[in-house]
Amino acid sequence: MKLRANLVIGGALFALAILVGLLAPWLAHTDPVMDANLLNAEEPPSWTWWFGTDGQGRDIYSRVVYGARISLTVGIVSQLINSVIGVGLGLSAGYFGGWWDDVVNALTNLMLAIPSLIFALAIMAVLGPGLTSLLIALGLTNWSFTCRLARASALSLRNQGYVQAATVLGYGDLRIMITQLLPNMLGPIVVIGTLGMGSAVLSEAALSFLGLGVRPPFPSWGSMLSEARDQITTAPWLSVFPGLAIFLTVLGLNLLGDGLRDILDPQSRSRRT
Amino acid sequence: MTGAPLIEVEDLRIDLDDGSRRVAAAEGISFRIDRGETFGLVGESGCGKSITALALIGLLRSPLSIGGGAIRFEGREIQNLSAARQRQLRGNRIAMIFQEPMTALNPVSPVGRQIAEMFVLHKGKSWREANQLAVESLASVRVPAPERRVKDYPHQLSGGMRQRVMIAIALACGPDLLIADEPTTALDVTVQAEIIELMRNLCAERGTAILMISHDLGLVANVCRRVAVMYAGRIVEERSSADIFRAPSHPYTQGLVDSLPRLGSRAALGRSRLKEIAGVVPAITNFPDGCRFNPRCAQATDICRTAAPKTDLLEAGGLVRCHHHA
Ligand SMILES: Nc1ncnc2c1ncn2[C@@H]1O[C@H](COP(=O)(O)OP(=O)(O)O)[C@@H](O)[C@H]1O
Ligand code: SF4
Ligand SMILES: [Mg+2]
């Protein structure tokens, strides 16, 4: 199998982001919240301050490094919630059909009709800002594509010989869904999940930028952008570096999703031995 | 143990609901299979063999349903059991293998795991034990190097090997009845013979009864002690395999026997065409009045076109449904 460039570059960018988040305490030069020092306020990037400092003299490099933790946690956890909801609803709807399918379809159409960010915004408005609210808001609003995909896959898979064979062998519905249907639709679900993670990172940035995300002293890339917007002309490095971090992470996730789509494609899978 | 047969079907009727009305896709189906016995169901494609098998294992789905009659397993009626109780029978006491070994296995799961799942599901074994038992199962269907083969995925196996795996899965829980619906139709001839031999030997060793379903009378008679011939949703003749060749009674059965290549015959040597039964099986919604075989029957008379024949007992043993049977 040929290694594809999108898979390698995307995987490397995503792995780098995760590594930075995991190793933040060792990579950071200063404490991202506590080490404010007005004597160093608004220093441009230099050998001492790699990414410059902000108005309170905090090291932007250290804040970007720690920011990876929050941004990635939100991206990964909220997408996992979406995947579980989407697969659970779509798989069961496609498998059982009937009134349950109608209910799930109506729900999915509703979710598709309302832009997910607006929906998340409404949930945040009710729950108030903070990390948990973010996870809930983003985790509940972006499962419709996964759901559609899982439903369509279940619809076609349930007529496969091995699904009927499992019924004949006495498998129950749950066992059929978990052992026969789920593994056979996992490839495309993972692809959608990877792409969804990218958009969750972006949504986190957007919500935090609007002041609804993680609360200020703690750095997420979105909240850093939000704080930096007044100084965009005087101290552009305050926006550039967190912006670059978002860009590279989302780019990486999208490339990774594309690359996975290529190798997980069911046709190329069956050709492989 | 009582004298009840292993499975007994009595006057079974299968309805097809085509939206506006119900028609009988099969009716008056009666037969019994004793413990360890081999019984065959033969007939051209579309005459109702597979739906009869599905009725036995409780898997008729809309638009098909059981419209009447009884199915008794070890003397107990099973057609009205709860879904959960029926599931406990399926795969455990009554197992089934299909025509398509290419698609009957889950492509993303190693074959050993698919065998082991049966022990976990029906026998409450731990995965550890079940995996061990899966290796033994694979060995019992004569798959070489079973401890390595359990890790293989279906696409790594040939058609014949896959059908062996299917047999291993079906026989894993030691069922009392194995239903084989056209089990070798998709395989090439040499592999066919091997698979049939294997199935027959394993079932004989374990005392498992076989219900063998096929369009091929030769194949079924070779495996089974008794054979029922089905035509257009009805059983038209039931005989011992030996009798059915020697003295077929129903004109349809005679046609089936005549269409078989005989060893040493001109047809088997390719020098003359096999006699075929002219015409096709009528559609369910379009069964003719009287005897359903009458449009294709050379011996048909007026009564055949108006009155459905009843089942007669033959002196030599067996049943036949024809006004003018031999
Ligand atoms: N799900 C179904 N819906 C409608 N008709 C069906 C269905 N399954 C089978 N039939 C019809 O029932 C008849 C018997 O089918 P089947 O039992 O599969 O025949 P065979 O003897 O070839 O196994 C056929 O005419 C077939 O068209
Ligand atoms: S009843 Fe009449 S039509 Fe039917 S098989 Fe017998 S002879 Fe032929
Ligand atoms: Mg059939």
Residue nearest to atom 1 of ligand 2 (CA): B322
Q: Determine, yes or no, domain membership for B57.
A: yes
As a whole number, mean pLDDT of residues A114-135 equals: 88
pLDDT band at A267 (very low <50, low <70, confident <90, very high): low
Give the integer Cα–Cα distance in Å for B108 and B116: 15
* Residues of chain B under the 50 pLDDT cut: 267
Q: Which atom of ligand 2 is nearest to the CA of B323?
A: 1
Highest mean pLDDT out of A212-221, A262-271, B53-62, B256-265: B53-62
pLDDT tens per residue across span A169-202: 999 999 999 999 999 999 899 989 999 988 888 8
Number of domains into which chain B is organized: 1
How much is the pLDDT for A273? 39
Q: Determine, yes or no, domain membership for B179.
A: yes
Q: Is CATH 2.40.160.20 the right assignment for the domain spanning A18-272?
A: no
How much is the pLDDT for A183? 93
Give the integer Cα–Cα distance in Å for A184 and B90: 24
Q: Determine, yes or no, domain membership for B307.
A: yes
How much is the pLDDT for A34? 66
- DSSP structural state of residue B66: E
- Higher pLDDT pick, A6 / B202: B202
Q: Determine, yes or no, domain membership for B279.
A: yes
> A interface mutation test: which of B87, B92, B137, B151 has the most A CBs within 10 A?
B87
> A interface mutation test: which of B106, B158, B169, B185 has the most A CBs within 10 A?
B106
- Residue A96 burial class via C-beta count within 10 angstroms: exposed 0-12, middle 13-18, buried 19 and up: middle
How much is the pLDDT for A35? 66
| CATH code for the domain of B230 | 3.40.50.300
Please give, rounded to a whole number of angstroms, the shortest distance from the CA of B285 to a CA of chain A: 25
How much is the pLDDT for B64? 94
pLDDT tens per residue across span A8-25: 899 999 998 889 888 878
pLDDT tens per residue across span A21-63: 888 788 777 776 666 666 666 777 777 777 777 767 788 888 8
- Higher pLDDT pick, A203 / B277: A203
Residue numbers of the domain that contains B51: 7-93+173-320
CB contact under 8 A, B95 and A169: yes
Q: Determine, yes or no, domain membership for B262.
A: yes
CA of B24 to the centre of ligand 3 (A): 17
A171 touches chain B (CB under 8 A): yes
What number of H helices and E strands is found in chain A? 13, 0
DSSP assignment of A95-159: HH-HHHHHHHHHHHHHHHHS-HHHHHHHHHHHH-SSHHHHHHHHHSSS-HHHHHHHHHHHHHHTT
How much is the pLDDT for A229? 77
Q: Determine, yes or no, domain membership for B124.
A: no
pLDDT tens per residue across span A60-105: 888 888 888 888 999 999 999 999 999 999 999 999 999 999 999 9
Task: Please determine, for residue A272, whether its predicted confidence score (pLDDT) is greater than 80.
Answer: no
B122 touches chain A (CB under 8 A): yes
Please give, rounded to a whole number of angstroms, the shortest distance from the CA of A93 to a CA of chain B: 18
